[in-house]
Structure 1
Amino acid sequence: MIIDTDPGVDDAFAISLAALSEEVDLLGVTTVFGNVPLEATTLNARRLLALCGRDDVPVAAGAARPLVHAPLRRASHVHGADGLSGRSAALPEPGRALEPGGAVSLLVSLLEAAGEPVTIAPIGPLTNIALLLAAHPEVREKIARIVIMGGGLAGGNSTGAAEFNIWSDPEAARRVLVEEPVPCVLVPMDLTYRCAVDTAWLAKLAASGPIGAALEALTPDYSSHYRKALGWDGIVLHDAVAVAEAIRPGILKTETYPVEVECSLGPARGATLVDRRRQGLRAEAEGDIAQGHIEVAVDTDLDGLRSFVLDRLAR
């Protein structure tokens, strides 16, 4: 597995989930702009791997901005100014230097060297993955599937139409989700919100040991935001839900749909348009917009998913 990430509190849980799962061969981590600027996301990723005792995992920095249009805003109001509720510096310092050459170079080298197909889990804006597939189409055959946290079927969180990761770089998202012939699983916020965890879950994590305590300590700013968003005390582990599916295929129930990404500059920019009509009712007239068909996660055993994540993080 390779994780592409913009840590972010939920990214912290997702990275740790993969790093602590024994059946995962975590080949590398690449970083992207998103919740906070690239310099912060990269340092956060390296510190989180150090927390998990995984300085063996190489990290490379990727895109600092979207493909086309400059980012309108970050998500520091959700994750804190440093991306981790102001507590990034409390994590261990990285024990491994940043990889030279950048994210796309590392992705290519890891994929080319892999002896079996690799799962990529992009849990931030899709800029690095779009660049990889555009510049190096020869690596597609080495990708087992791309499991993406992003999108919203019924609306968004950055705008009324768009979820943050897709909204941050819609052109990149469209390249990956619609135009590329690579198996994709989209894990939208409609499902990740349903997988939210409460304070009792967080207390169990904090009591599990040093890693669990350190992860729980990253949540105050994030918890404050989600107290308002959920209407109760808890947090949404968006990215960890996607990584759980990457680790254990089938832990989420998926259905295959045509999908489009809105790339106009209007109020729907960044929306994921998932056509959930019955196949016979879908418009097939000549001249319709091109649509990619991808798997979309629509359901899971909620308690089972929460237990899976907690058990791995608490080991």
Structure 2
Amino acid sequence: MPRLIIDTDPGVDDAFALALAARSPEVDLLAVTTVFGNVGLAATTHNALRVLALCGREDVPVAVGAARPLVHPQPREATAAHGADGLSGRAATLPARGRGVEPVDAVTLMAQVLQASPEPVTLVPIGPLTNIALLLAAHPGVKPKIDRLVIMGGGLSGGNCTAAAEFNLWCDPEAARRVLVVEDLPTVLVPIDLTYRCAVDNHWLARLAATGPIGAALDSLTGVYRAHYRESMGFDGTVIHDAVAVAEAIRPGILATTRLPVAVETAFGPARGSVIADRRLTSFADESGARPIDVALDTDLDALRAFILSRLS
């Protein structure tokens, strides 16, 4: 049974991802930690608590993490895509959770959960990587308890918030470089090159809404998000980026990966926050400072969508 800690900044696609983990019977969801990102930290924490309440998961501890990047301020939030509250203005319609946040911060909770776990745990960061960078810097002794990192972020062929950079990594490039390049943990990176291909259309969302109260509630959160993709892509549906990464964490191998050396650009300029993957059939990566990780580049799209729908419903 996969044992997961999800680090998240809900966000509409984060809400789908969190519900996917919370509703999957084959998962032991040990903790959820929150980070700034799509909206501010107070809102991401509020949203995480309410999504867990929607899924009936009072048992899962939630801890509050970083409110800002490691070094430089976050340039902007993603309210244009997710709405001012992160959930298309619908956060308050979700049920309140009786259990609030833990009395310790996110890094401390992750360290405690990892140390107490009898088996290795998969960390699933689906927001900026600030909390994970802080955990690995402050508690290097927990690394043997980490089975792997499954990270949603980056774009090999371009970005979604700048021409070069994907939002999660662009929010804190220094943390992204620390986690993806400097550390040595087994890592799967799920970039937007794949997640855009995994988009779900209005028919899929209608099927989800028809499954019952949870599916209907999740669908109701997509209004602003769907309008954003309708305007930017001419597509009536939505891209559930983070749920694709959580699917891989739940069912290892559902995504097909390619081992590639990657680097993260931290200099100021048009490429800041971008992932640079070395696809050359040589060993030049040893000279570039890049680190080989598994990058998810393909999947059976219909099977993935069916898997996510089955768990959410």
What is the TM-score when the length of structure 2 is the normalising length?
Answer: 0.98
The residue correspondences of 1:173-188 to structure 2 (distance < 5 A) are 173-188=176-191
Shift of 1:289: 3.1
CA distance in 1, matches of 2:254, 2:132: 24
The AA in structure 2 aligned to 1:61 is V
CA distance in 1, matches of 2:216, 2:249: 25
What's the CA shift string for 1:42-90, capped at 9, x where partnerless? 0100000000000100000000000000011000000000000000000
The AA in structure 1 aligned to 2:265 is E
What's the CA shift string for 1:130-183, capped at 9, x where partnerless? 000011100000000000000001000110000000000000000000010111
Query: Contact 2:278–2:285 at 8 Å: present in 1 too?
Result: no
Query: Contact 2:261–2:285 at 8 Å: present in 1 too?
Result: no
The AA in structure 1 aligned to 2:134 is L
Aligned to 2:299: 300
Secondary structure of the structure 2 residue equivalent to 1:162:
coil
The residue correspondences of 1:68-147 to structure 2 (distance < 5 A) are 68-147=71-150
Flag structure 2 segments of 5+ consecutive residues without an equivalent: none
Aligned to 1:56: 59
The AA in structure 2 aligned to 1:206 is A
Secondary structure of the structure 2 residue equivalent to 1:146:
strand
CA distance in 2, matches of 1:203, 1:21: 21
CA distance in 1, matches of 2:147, 2:154: 21
CA distance in 1, matches of 2:242, 2:74: 21
CA distance in 2, matches of 1:231, 1:189: 17
Aligned to 1:289: 288
2:223 is the counterpart of 1:220: yes
2:158 is the counterpart of 1:155: yes
What's the CA shift string for 1:82-124, capped at 9, x where partnerless? 0000000000001102101210000000000101000010000
Flag structure 1 segments of 5+ consecutive residues without an equivalent: none
CA distance in 1, matches of 2:256, 2:285: 27
Shift of 1:284: 5.6
CA distance in 2, matches of 1:267, 1:2: 33
2:267 is the counterpart of 1:264: yes
The residue correspondences of 1:31-42 to structure 2 (distance < 5 A) are 31-42=34-45
The AA in structure 2 aligned to 1:52 is C
2:308 is the counterpart of 1:309: yes
Distance 1:284 1:158, change over 3 A: closer
Aligned to 1:66: 69
CA distance in 2, matches of 1:84, 1:137: 35
CA distance in 2, matches of 1:221, 1:179: 37
The residue correspondences of 1:165-204 to structure 2 (distance < 5 A) are 165-204=168-207
CA distance in 2, matches of 1:35, 1:24: 26
The AA in structure 2 aligned to 1:104 is V
CA distance in 2, matches of 1:229, 1:150: 19
Secondary structure of the structure 2 residue equivalent to 1:240:
helix
Please tell me the root mean square deviation across aligned C-alpha atoms, in Å: 0.8
Distance 1:57 1:154, change over 3 A: same
Query: Contact 2:130–2:176 at 8 Å: present in 1 too?
Result: yes
Query: Contact 2:261–2:278 at 8 Å: present in 1 too?
Result: yes
Secondary structure of the structure 2 residue equivalent to 1:161:
coil
Distance 1:17 1:284, change over 3 A: closer
The AA in structure 2 aligned to 1:290 is G
CA distance in 2, matches of 1:124, 1:44: 14
Shift of 1:236: 0.2
Q: How many residues align?
A: 310
CA distance in 2, matches of 1:223, 1:27: 31
